[in-house]
């Protein structure tokens, strides 16, 4: 199990526990369960230019324990 910290730039930080074999789409849905927004309206990024595909695994993007992701809204 890994823990991913997401910052939405609106004063909220969300910690999500998941596996490195989970997809980005699954992590989006876990984030949405805590924030209350729709899952296809958020766009988690490592840096502002990194675009994650929903079907790719966390391990493919080298997302590991306690990494910080930035949440951008579409």
Domains for the chain: give ranges and CATH numbers.
Answer: 2-73 (3.10.20.90)
pLDDT at 15: 94
What pLDDT is stored for residue 12 in this prediction?
A: 85
Which parts of the chain register pLDDT below 50?
Answer: none
Q: Name the H helices within 1-74.
A: 24-35
Q: What is the pLDDT of residue 49?
A: 79
Predicted pLDDT of residue 41: 87
Burial label for 12, CB within 10 Å (0-12, 13-18, 19+), is: exposed
Q: What is the pLDDT of residue 48?
A: 78
Find all residues with CB under 8 Å of 47, minimum gap 6, and list them. 70
């Amino acid at each position: 199990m890994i823990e991913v910290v997401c910052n939405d730039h609106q004063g909220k930080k969300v910690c999500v526990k998941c596996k490195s074999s989970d997809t980005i789409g699954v992590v989006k849905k876990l984030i949405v369960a805590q924030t209350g927004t729709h899952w296809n309206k958020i766009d988690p990024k490592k840096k502002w230019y990194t675009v994650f595909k929903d079907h790719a695994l966390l391990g493919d993007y080298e997302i590991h324990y306690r990494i910080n992701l930035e949440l951008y809204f579409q």
